[in-house]
């Protein structure tokens, strides 16, 4: 998947913050320690929200840790109970990311075989999410646009800061897909008691200049990190051997990834993620040698004799609680949009994609028909009188069928 570029220039967004409706943190600048929230702070963020009032408390109160009522009724409730707003400084293009004050805990398992059985069941749910849910960054962009048209705020920069990203099954980016999977994994609790409360969403940084510098300064660098991606995480302990289980439906990874701290079995290691058009993409996940708070995500792309290496960092020490406010919001203003249908193995079977850029309305549709087919089209071609007439007739027929 192509790594995306911001649609709104950073300088423009920063300039707009001088007169936009913004988060107001406890002070103009966030202290480094404040990127982690205590359980009390999680329930009532001290920041003043974009609507001019304190961010709403969860309607159903705090989760009772270890109690019988641990499960969430739907994905919306899961998001409401686990996500918060981040402070939005005046000179920053996005809210600042935040993590829970509580560290992720290890789920205890009695043997490797027990872990493998659990991982197989989790992988089945992961593959169902891939097959049943599209990856869609077009939908949240259009939802943002429709909300903008109906809002009295007409400066797009101002509105962007007032807007609350919407997570719906029709518009799942990596954020929505992660929460969908987390929600579905609750059903495994009849076999693995309290599993859901050990699951969490974790953050991933992709654009890193220095792995060592980033991993050593996260606690004081919240204003310079972007958190482009999220995954589902489960830390586990097999008789004293610790590991991290990761699921990444946003990047179409159809397997559970196991990262052992001792690098021994059942550590996943390198695997082929995709191989198409003489381009092979391989992934590897390992505990970072610079800090065990991070998992390194290594990507190796081979095209002929050319090999490109990419490394991202996944922060697994604490749950990420601003996935919607930071990561999904960031996705709205990225200039590469796609709507993708996958099979249960993560293979792309159909979809469309385009870049949002001035003076261009071209998009590409692809599908499978004796191999992958690609067709380039223009959005303007759907605005011709003939197409409008056809659309009107279809709408009339749909209404007749609806009220028949």
Domain boundaries, the chain: 16-277+316-329
Percent of the residues in the chain that have a pLDDT greater than 90, as a whole number? 65
Mean pLDDT over the full length of the chain: 83
Burial 236-271 (b: 16+ CB within 10 A, else e): bebeebebbbbbbbbbbbbbbbbbbeeeeebbbeee
How much is the pTM?
0.81
Q: What residues form DSSP beta bridges with 48?
A: 24, 54
Enumerate residues 6+ apart whose C-beta is below 8 A from 76: 167
In the predicted structure, residue 363 carries a pLDDT above the cut 60: yes
User: Roughly what angle, to the nearest 10 degrees, separates helices 174-184 and 75-82?
Assistant: 110
Contact (CB, 8 A) for 300 and 281: yes
In the predicted structure, residue 180 carries a pLDDT above the cut 50: yes
Q: Measured between alpha carbons, how far is 169 from 181 in angstroms, rounded to an integer?
A: 12
Q: Counting every residue, how long is the chain?
A: 404
Q: What is the average pLDDT across 170-196?
A: 97
**CA 44 from centre of chain:** 23
Between residues 235 and 47, the one the model is more confident about: 235
Q: According to the model, what pLDDT value does residue 55 have?
A: 35
Q: According to the model, what pLDDT value does residue 392 have?
A: 72
Between residues 247 and 211, the one the model is more confident about: 247
**Token pair 């259009």: residue:** 142
Burial 292-326 (b: 16+ CB within 10 A, else e): ebbbbbebbeeeeeeeeeeebbbbbbbbbbbbbbb
In the predicted structure, residue 225 carries a pLDDT above the cut 80: no
Q: What is the average pLDDT across 196-212?
A: 92
With CA atoms as reference, report the closest residue to 85 among 97, 75, 77: 97
């Amino acid at each position: 998947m192509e790594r995306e570029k911001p649609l709104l220039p950073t300088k423009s967004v920063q300039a707009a913050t001088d007169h936009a409706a913004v988060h107001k943190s406890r002070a103009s600048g966030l202290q480094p320690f404040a990127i982690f929230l205590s359980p009390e702070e999680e329930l009532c963020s001290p920041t003043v929200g974009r609507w001019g009032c304190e961010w709403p408390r969860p309607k159903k109160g705090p989760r009772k840790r270890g109690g019988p009522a641990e499960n969430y009724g739907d994905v919306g409730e899961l998001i409401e109970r686990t996500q918060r707003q981040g402070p939005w400084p005046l000179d920053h293009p996005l809210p600042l990311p935040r993590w829970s004050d509580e560290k992720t805990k290890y789920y205890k398992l009695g043997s490797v075989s027990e872990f493998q059985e659990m991982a197989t069941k989790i992988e089945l749910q992961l593959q169902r999410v891939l097959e049943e849910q599209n990856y869609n960054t077009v939908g949240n962009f259009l939802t943002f646009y429709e909300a903008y048209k109906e809002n009295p705020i007409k400066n797009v920069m101002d509105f962007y800061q007032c807007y609350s990203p919407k997570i719906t099954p029709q518009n799942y980016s990596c954020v929505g897909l992660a929460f969908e999977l987390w929600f579905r994994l609750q059903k495994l609790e009849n076999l693995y008691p309290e599993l859901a409360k050990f699951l969490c969403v974790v953050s991933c940084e992709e654009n890193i200049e220095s792995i060592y510098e980033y991993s050593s300064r996260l606690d004081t660098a919240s204003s310079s990190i972007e958190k482009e991606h999220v995954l589902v995480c489960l830390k586990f302990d097999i008789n004293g051997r610790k590991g991290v289980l990761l699921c990444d439906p946003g990047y179409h990874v159809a397997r559970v990834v196991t990262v052992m701290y001792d690098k021994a079995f059942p550590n996943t290691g390198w695997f082929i993620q995709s191989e198409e058009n003489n381009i092979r993409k391989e992934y590897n996940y390992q505990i970072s040698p610079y800090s065990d708070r991070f998992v390194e995500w290594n990507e190796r792309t081979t095209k002929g004799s050319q090999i490109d290496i990419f490394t991202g960092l996944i922060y697994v020490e604490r749950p990420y609680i601003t996935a919607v406010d930071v990561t999904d919001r960031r996705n709205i203003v990225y200039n590469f949009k796609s709507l993708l249908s996958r099979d249960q193995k993560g293979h792309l079977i159909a979809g469309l994609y385009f870049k949002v850029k001035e003076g261009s309305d071209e998009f590409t549709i692809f599908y499978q028909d004796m191999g992958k087919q690609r067709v380039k089209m223009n959005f303007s071609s759907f605005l011709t009188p003939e197409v409008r007439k056809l659309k009107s007739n279809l709408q009339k027929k749909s209404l007749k069928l609806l009220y028949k």
